Amino acid sequence: MRKTEFRSSESGFTLAELMIALTVTLVMASLASILMAGSFNIRARENQKTEALADTQRGLNLMTREISNAGYGLTDNGIVAADSGLSSIRVRANLNAAAGETTSSTTTDRDEDVKYLLYTDSDNSYIVRIDVNSAAQEMVLANRVDALKLRYYADKVTYTSSNCDITNVRDSYGNPVGEVAQKSGAKYIVLSICVTLPAISTPGSPGYQPPSQVQLVSDVALRNSDLFNF
C-alpha cells in the first residue's frame, strides 16, 4: 500500500514585514487620535457657544420685556436717571394701576421697580436683576456676559452693531442722531450684550479654537412712548 506524504509550505512573517506593519499601525493610530482631539475641541467650543447664547438670550428677553413696560401707569417714562447709564438701567412701572388694590396708585409692588446692571468680579461678569421693592432681591440673569451697553434715544433709530456696541445711528429720515441729554426724554432704548468665548487648546494644537465673540442686540420702545412711524 502506497503512502501519501503531505508537506507544509506555511511560513511566518519576516522581521522587516512585522516592523512595517507595526509602523503603519502606529501612524494610523496617531492620525486617528489627532482627528479625535480636534473633534472634541470643536465640540467643546460649540457646547460653550450654545450654552452661553441660550443663557444670554433668556436674560435679554426678560430685560426687553420689563424695560418696555417702563412708565406704564405713570406720567413719565419710568426711567430712574440716577441709576441708569451705559451699563445699568433702573425702570419703574405701575403694573397693577387698574387692579383696584391699595397699592395701585404707587410703584411699590413686586416687579414694579427693577434695576439691571453688569456686575464684574475678579474672574467673571454677570447681568444682575434687582427687585428694589422686594428688599433689593437679586437674581443673576446671565453669568457668561462680558459686556452690557444701553443707549437711550428720543425716537426709533436704525444702527449698525459691532464691537459690543452700536454705530452709524440714524433717525427715520436717515440723519445721524445722538442719545438724549436727559434720560427723562428717552423713548427708545438699544441694548447690546457681548459674550466672549475663550480659546480652546493652544495655537498649533489639533482642533485649536481661537477666542471668539458673539453680540446680541435688542430694541426697546417704551410702552408709554409716542414714536414717529417710519
Between residues 136 and 178, which one has the greater pLDDT? 178
Q: 151: closest CA among 166, 170, 171, 135? A: 166
Going by C-beta distance under 8 Å and a sequence separation of 6 or more, which residues neighbour residue 208? 41, 199, 200, 201, 202
Count of positions (residues) in the chain: 230
Domain ranges of the chain: 62-221
pLDDT at 142 over 50: yes
The pLDDT tens digits of the residues spanning 65-122 come to 999 999 888 888 999 999 999 999 999 998 888 777 777 778 889 999 999 999 888 7
What is the model's pLDDT at position 82?
94
Would you say residue 181 has pLDDT above 50? yes
Q: Reply yes or no on whether the pLDDT at 57 is more than 90.
A: no
Q: How many CB atoms lie within 10 A of CB 216?
A: 17
Output the pLDDT for position 230.
36
Average of per-residue pLDDT across 174-193: 94
With a CB cutoff of 8 Å and minimum separation 6, the contacts of 145 are 56, 59, 118, 125, 126, 127, 193, 194, 195
Cα-based distances in Å from 111 to 70, 91, 208 = 11, 10, 45
Q: Which residue has the higher pLDDT, 221 or 27?
A: 221
Q: Write the pLDDT tens digit of every residue in 33-42.
A: 666 666 666 6
Mean predicted confidence (pLDDT) in 122-135: 87
DSSP state of 4: P
Lateral strand order in the sheet of 88-92: 88-92, 113-120, 125-131, 137-142
Residue 178 — pLDDT band, cuts 50, 70, 90? Answer: very high
- Phi, psi (rounded to 5 degrees) for 226: -120, 80
* pLDDT, average across residues 45-53: 68
Residue 48 has pLDDT above 90, yes or no: no
Question: Does this model's pTM top 0.85?
Answer: no
Cα four-point dihedral sign 41, 47, 52, 53: positive
Residues of the chain above pLDDT 90, percent: 37
Mean of all residue pLDDT scores within the chain: 82
pLDDT of residue 9: 56
Specify the pairing of strand 158-162 against strand 147-153.
unpaired
Distance between CA atoms of residues 52 and 46, nearest Å: 10
